[in-house]
Amino acid sequence: MFDWLIVGAGFAGSVLAERLASQRGERVLVIDKRPHIGGNAYDRYDDAGILIHQYGPHIFHTNSQAIFDYLSKFTRWRPYEHRVLADVDGMLVPIPINLDTVNRLFALNLTSEELATWFAARAEKRDEIRTSEDVVVSAVGRELYEKFFKGYTRKQWGVDPSQLDKSVTARVPTRIDRDDRYFTDSFQYMPEGGYTRLFERMLAHPNIRVMLQTSFQDIRKEIAFRRVIYTGPIDEFFKFRFGKLPYRSLQFKHETFDQQWLQPVAVVNYPQTEAYTRITEYKHLTGQSHEKTSVTYEFPSDAGDPYYPVPRAENMELYKKYERLALAQENVWFVGRLATYRYYNMDQVVGQALATFRRICHEVPLPEVA
Ligand code: FAD
Ligand code: UDP
């Protein structure tokens, strides 16, 4: 008899397994239908011996000292500040759009103050910022919106930015200075030995058992457990009772080149051309030295594993119906990006899992010692 069955060995499931086992001494079974732990943050060495991220680039960044301290129990860190270039009009320019982006793209020599005026002259007024189009055109105007955001977003999400909640493109700021970092969080690091190593350490507790290639549907009747943490898609848990919740998927193409470097930074975005959205070259992220280089192309699609909840009002409405069912479930906790249908970064999932653990400590008495 396990105290907990945890469905999913990603950040949500692994953090809760670690907390329940180490802080409450409870017996935990973690299952995942995939053949590995780590969820979407899983990394591995490819045939050339280069550390790659199986499900696309994962860069850790947070403003939370508590979340950073918690994860630091399981890894040392490599300082890394993420920089991204966009292939626009045949040039590689910084994204987020900054002073250098505009000066290079339009062969100008503006100062920061002049750029603020330049943006203001082009920005479209909006009474209310509601959509992902509104966010960008109200900040930088239509031309830059079309060059950097329209095509990329249509590719990535399969819908026009005007059909997506503002929160999607609001992830990418606009700057008038020359700061070309993708994130400005106070903690920006990569786990020194990789993510999978971090997960191995998190799950290496005598009270935790891990079963891979095991799906919830297959074993829910076979195994005795008291309570469940569920981190898979919430609509699947309820057998799609209200219909399918849209999740956007990606197909990943991994490739190794017989040369040291392919591109000047870890990620190059393709908002105007190509079927893929971006190319990631891992050695920039990991600091690994190797005579070859490995990269991943991301091709967005509707079919395939669910990776992104799609932030649109109608989807949130449908999610709320499932959430009401979830709240009425006794002894099941829904945590993580798929189970709470939130476009969360890794640190937010860790924060949500730690908050869930605190709630559990309030609500669930400790098991009696036999
Ligand atoms: P997941 O990692 O998806 O784990 C859920 C697990 O549950 C999966 O392993 C799945 O196989 C398993 N599962 C589902 N259903 C079942 C079932 N029925 N039975 C058994 N197992 C099941 N975040 C960042 O902070 N920085 C980044 O740079 C970043 N880049 C990203 C890039 C891409 C391409 C993607 C897709 C995401 C990125 N993220 C990034 C987000 C990050 O991946 C997530 O926040 C985090 O991994 C979510 O953890 P999770 O545990 O909620 O879900
Ligand atoms: N985006 C864009 N062009 C870019 C970068 C981002 O249009 O060059 C939009 C796109 O809709 C994307 C969203 O902004 O999905 C968020 O970007 P982010 O890099 O945070 O995406 P993620 O890493 O989560 O896939």
Q: What is the DSSP string of 64-122?
A: -HHHHHHHTTT--EEE---BEEEEETTEEEEES--HHHHHHHTT----HHHHHHHHHHH
CA of 149 from ligand 2 middle (Å) equals 8
Atom of ligand 2 nearest to the CA of 169: 14
CA of 151 from ligand 2 middle (Å) equals 11
Q: Can you say how many angstroms the Cα of residue 343 is from the centroid of all Cα atoms in its chain?
A: 7
Across the chain, what does the average pLDDT equal?
A: 97
Is the dihedral angle over the CA atoms 270, 41, 51, 266 positive or is it negative?
Answer: positive
User: Residue 171 belongs to what H/E stretch?
Assistant: none
Average pLDDT of 224-247?
Answer: 97
User: Residue 210 belongs to what H/E stretch?
Assistant: strand 208-211
CATH of domain 2-44+192-245+310-363: 3.40.50.720
How far apart CA 29 and CA 9 sit, in angstroms, is 10
Q: Name residue, tokens 């999610």.
A: 319
Please, are residues 231 and 326 in contact by the beta-carbon 8 Å criterion? no
Q: Residue 218 contacts by C-beta under 8 Å, 6 or more apart in sequence?
A: none
| Percent of all residues in the chain with a pLDDT value above 70, rounded to a whole number | 99
pLDDT given at position 327: 97
Atom of ligand 2 nearest to the CA of 343: 24
> Backbone phi, then psi, for 278, in 5-degree steps?
-155, 160
Ligand 2 touching residue 172 (CB < 6 A): yes
Q: Is the pLDDT of residue 178 over 70?
A: yes
> What is the model's pTM?
0.98
pLDDT given at position 369: 63
Half-sphere exposure (Cβ direction) of 169: Cα atoms closer than 13 Å: 33
Q: Is the pLDDT of residue 370 over 70?
A: no
| Percent of all residues in the chain with a pLDDT value above 90, rounded to a whole number | 98
User: Residue 353 belongs to what H/E stretch?
Assistant: helix 346-363
| Alpha-carbon separation of residue 291 from 47, 52, 54 (angstroms) | 14, 15, 21
Q: Is the pLDDT of residue 353 over 80?
A: yes
Residue type, 270: Y
Atom of ligand 1 nearest to the CA of 215: 19
Please, are residues 189 and 79 in contact by the beta-carbon 8 Å criterion? yes
Q: Tens digits of per-residue pLDDT, 52-103? A: 999 999 999 999 999 999 999 999 999 999 999 999 999 999 999 999 999 9
CA of 41 from ligand 1 middle (Å) equals 6
pLDDT given at position 367: 73
How far apart CA 59 and CA 38 sit, in angstroms, is 14
Please, are residues 50 and 283 in contact by the beta-carbon 8 Å criterion? yes
Q: Tens digits of per-residue pLDDT, 236-265? A: 999 999 999 999 999 999 999 999 999 999
Question: Virtual CA dihedral for 232, 233, 238, 243, nearest 10 degrees?
Answer: -170
Rg (CA), the chain: 22
Please, are residues 230 and 216 in contact by the beta-carbon 8 Å criterion? yes
CA of 138 from ligand 2 middle (Å) equals 17
Atom 23 of ligand 1 has which residue's CA nearest to it? Answer: 345
How far apart CA 7 and CA 360 sit, in angstroms, is 17
Tell me which residue of 261, 293, 356, 331 sits closest to 20, measured CA to CA: 356
Predicted ipTM > 0.85: yes
Average pLDDT of 344-356?
Answer: 98
Report residues whose beta carbon is within 6 angstroms of any ligand 1 atom.
Answer: 7-13, 31-34, 39-41, 55-59, 215-216, 231-232, 250, 307, 336-338, 344-347, 349
Sheet holding 225-230, edge to edge: 208-211, 28-31, 2-7, 225-230, 332-334
Atom of ligand 1 nearest to the CA of 11: 51
Domain ranges of the chain: 2-44+192-245+310-363, 84-171
Indicate which ligand has the atom closest to the C-alpha of 278: 2
Tell me which residue of 13, 16, 77 sits closest to 39, measured CA to CA: 13
